Structure 1
Amino acid sequence: MEVRRLRLLREFADRGSVGAVAAALHMTPSAVSQQLKVLADEAGVELLEPDGRGIRLTDAGHALVLRADDVIAAVDRAAEEMLAYRSGNATVRLGMFPSGSTLLLPELLYRAADAGIDVRASHFDVAYGDAPPGLTVYDIVVTHRDERTASIASPRVAVTELMREPLDVIVAGISPFARRAAVDVADLADSDWISVDGGFPVDDVLLSISAVTGVVPRVTQRMLDFTTIEALVAAGHGIALMPRHAVRHPGVKALSLKGVRAARVYEALTRPNPRGSVAKVVGLLREVAAAVR
């Protein structure tokens, strides 16, 4: 079985359709289908089966994808070793949510460069359950979840916990709450909230507040940019939950939240048995996160 065909099978497992694989790899759908058929002939067993108007992996197909992950990881490690002999540097692709990038990336780049690793980072900000598909593009995806949310469990994804970051309530500097160091969730029942989109960790905590107070938080604005959220709170348009290390606006006051545990957990996702430079960068991320704590 050729490695390039195993890569196609893995792409199909990640992307879910021949058309998506073809678009991602700049191939025609017929070429992808033909290569997958050749792989099935090589394997001597059907790897795909009809599923409505599309196709899906058979049990044998799922089993081969797991083995393909191992084979591809070994080939990539070998290729990286040869690259290191030629150039002395390895490249690792990193996808990371914006506020996590602000906190961890500057120091990570210094440490990775000292280790002879070229980290190529991009923003990748999706709901927690949508993070694993990012491994089709990145070697490492750094994501975050509410601490009550179960960690991703998949034989095709390795999860490394990096840190726990408390969430605080931010209020305008002129708010009566600003005289406090902490606030009980019950005191916030009648407040207007500014939150992120549903499915992101900060918004998940609002659901916990609802369970504690018996009152559904009144969310009046939804933004994905913490800088905008801080500006709205500073202007008196509501209160918000913010990760502790992301609070920077001089016009807001951060208060500890009493009555409910509120935090987000940073995780690094990779394929199982990643090549050496990828494993090294994950280790460096843990070091940088530990320094933040």
Structure 2
Amino acid sequence: MNERQLRILRELGESGSVTATAEALLMTPSAVSQQLRLLQRSIRVPLTERDGRRLVLTDAGQVLAGAAIEVEIALARARHSMEEFVDQPDARVAVAAFHSAAAAFFPLLLGQAAPKGPRLSLSDEDVAQEHFPRLTRDYDLVLAHRLDRAPLWPATLTARTLLREPLDIALPADHPLATERQLTPRDVADQPWITVDDGFPLMATVDAIATAANRRLDIVHRINDFTVAAEVVAAGGGLALMPRWTTRPHPALVLKPLRGVHARRHIDVLHRPERAARRAVRRVLTALDRAAAAIRSRDAQA
């Protein structure tokens, strides 16, 4: 039993014939008859009977046709509720981001918030690259990062790149290498290093530096939070790889471009395709695009 079959039964009771039912529902008479046979299979008592050349409803058929009206009302209410939900401009939108993206994007999103705009629910989620897609089950939008040449996100998700951000070498302002315009893997390979945990995107670039310099790096600290890593670098704890635009400026640090390896990451926004059907989610996606443009323009003005 389904909505279509109940609608056919109801129309048959009102129109009085299979032909008239087919015309009213823009179907063929054979299709109407087929659906009625399928409906009858799920009901233990006859729903229709012959009255001369006409097919009419039995008492049981009339009861079910009356119930079909209630089904139509309930479905209409459900559709209306869904339309309101989808089109609601001030609905709640849950956004998750890894730490440095959260620090860069969340204040800009909140700064763009309108009184009748989406109600943001912000969370920080610092996970390994392979785990970002899972977060789309719990959040409407997920800010994730991957290296420029890393595998793409699963095809079941919608992904859009907000930023293609260079990765620089962070070192103390008084470090001997701080006066160089650019650094190479050989320049930095003999220094102590602060890196992220294995499985996080930046580790692939750290490994590329070691490969290009043909030596194993001396990794002395593993710190995922760039704010904490910056303090350790400033204190002389080692060099670190840091994103150019989303790293919070530190007065005792300098960032130097790295040449000789491909050092850039994507900041992507991920979501399940159906989430973008909601008006509020689309508005936050637009706000993220504006925030990304603001982050890029700050670098151009620096």
Match of 1:278 among 265, 281, 292: 281
TM-score normalised to the size of structure 1? Answer: 0.68
- 1:221-260 equivalences under 5 Å are 221-245=221-245, 246-260=247-261
Contact 1:96–1:125, Cα closer than 8 Å, also in 2:
yes
Q: Secondary structure at the match of 1:199?
A: coil
Which structure: larger Rg? 2
**How big is the shift at 1:265?**
0.6
Q: Tell me the distance in 1 between the aligned counterparts of 2:281 and 2:152.
A: 20
**How big is the shift at 1:162?**
0.8
Contact 2:133–2:154, Cα closer than 8 Å, also in 1:
no
Alignment-derived partner of residue 291 in structure 1 = 294
Q: Tell me the distance in 2 between the aligned counterparts of 1:141 and 1:187.
A: 36
- Structure 1 pair 164–237 and aligned structure 2 pair: CA distance change class (3 A): same
Aligned residues: 219
Q: In the alignment, residue 270 of structure 2 is paired with which amino acid?
A: L
Deviating above 3 A after TM superposition, structure 1's stretches of 4 or more consecutive aligned residues are 76-81
**How big is the shift at 1:111?**
2.6
Instruction: Could you tell me which runs of 5 or more consecutive residues in structure 2 were left unpaired when the two chains were aligned.
Output: 3-77, 297-302
Alignment-derived partner of residue 190 in structure 2 = 190
Indicate yes or no: 2:148 matched with 1:141. no
Alignment-derived partner of residue 205 in structure 2 = 205
Q: Tell me the distance in 2 between the aligned counterparts of 1:136 and 1:78.
A: 25
**How big is the shift at 1:250?**
1.2
Q: Tell me the distance in 2 between the aligned counterparts of 1:218 and 1:285.
A: 38
**How big is the shift at 1:81?**
4.1
Q: After superposing the two structures, state which structure 1 stretch, 276-285 or 141-150, moved more.
A: 276-285
Q: Tell me the distance in 1 between the aligned counterparts of 2:208 and 2:243.
A: 16
Contact 2:89–2:116, Cα closer than 8 Å, also in 1:
no
Contact 1:77–1:275, Cα closer than 8 Å, also in 2:
no
TM-score normalised to the size of structure 2? Answer: 0.66
Q: After superposing the two structures, state which structure 1 stretch, 278-287 or 218-227, moved more.
A: 278-287
**How big is the shift at 1:275?**
2.2
- 1:1-293 equivalences under 5 Å are 79=81, 81-83=83-85, 89-113=90-114, 116-155=117-156, 157-245=157-245, 246-273=247-274, 274-276=276-278, 277-293=280-296
Q: In the alignment, residue 163 of structure 1 is paired with which amino acid?
A: L
**How big is the shift at 1:99?**
0.9
Contact 1:83–1:89, Cα closer than 8 Å, also in 2:
no
Q: Tell me the distance in 1 between the aligned counterparts of 2:207 and 2:79.
A: 43
Q: Tell me the distance in 2 between the aligned counterparts of 1:88 and 1:280.
A: 8
Alignment-derived partner of residue 47 in structure 2 = none
Q: In the alignment, residue 253 of structure 1 is paired with which amino acid?
A: V
- Structure 1 pair 287–79 and aligned structure 2 pair: CA distance change class (3 A): farther
Q: Secondary structure at the match of 1:183?
A: coil
Q: Tell me the distance in 2 between the aligned counterparts of 1:151 and 1:165.
A: 17
Alignment-derived partner of residue 16 in structure 1 = none
- Structure 1 pair 174–110 and aligned structure 2 pair: CA distance change class (3 A): closer
CA deviation vs aligned residue, 1:26-57 (integer Å, no higher than 9, x gap): xxxxxxxxxxxxxxxxxxxxxxxxxxxxxxxx
Q: Tell me the distance in 2 between the aligned counterparts of 1:88 and 1:208.
A: 46
- Structure 1 pair 242–91 and aligned structure 2 pair: CA distance change class (3 A): same
Instruction: Could you tell me which runs of 5 or more consecutive residues in structure 1 were left unpaired when the two chains were aligned.
Output: 3-75
